[in-house]
Amino acid sequence: MSKWDYELPELRAKVATLTAQNEALKHDLKELTSSYYGVINRLRDATSIEPLTPYEEERWEEHRKRIMEEK
């Protein structure tokens, strides 16, 4: 029995494990990238320079007063 006869199955198992891990990481990266761009889009929408509606302005003032009272 040569040295390569018994190492080959171990190497194949290691390659299979690493391939599976690589695929899992690719999937995670895809999900993280999607989430990142979702957050970026929400931040862009939330920080748009559109004026507040009267309702939003009133709610913002109430929120600001609560914050000041808590300090």
* Residue pLDDT, tens place only, 14-31: 999 999 999 999 999 989
With a CB cutoff of 8 Å and minimum separation 6, the contacts of 60 are: 52
What is the C-alpha separation between 55 and 44, in angstroms, rounded? 21
pLDDT tier, 50 (very low <50, low <70, confident <90, very high otherwise): low
Domain containing 47 equals 3-70
- Exposure class string for 45-60: b at 16+ Cβ within 10 A, else e: eeeeeeeeeeeeeeee
Domain count, the chain: 1
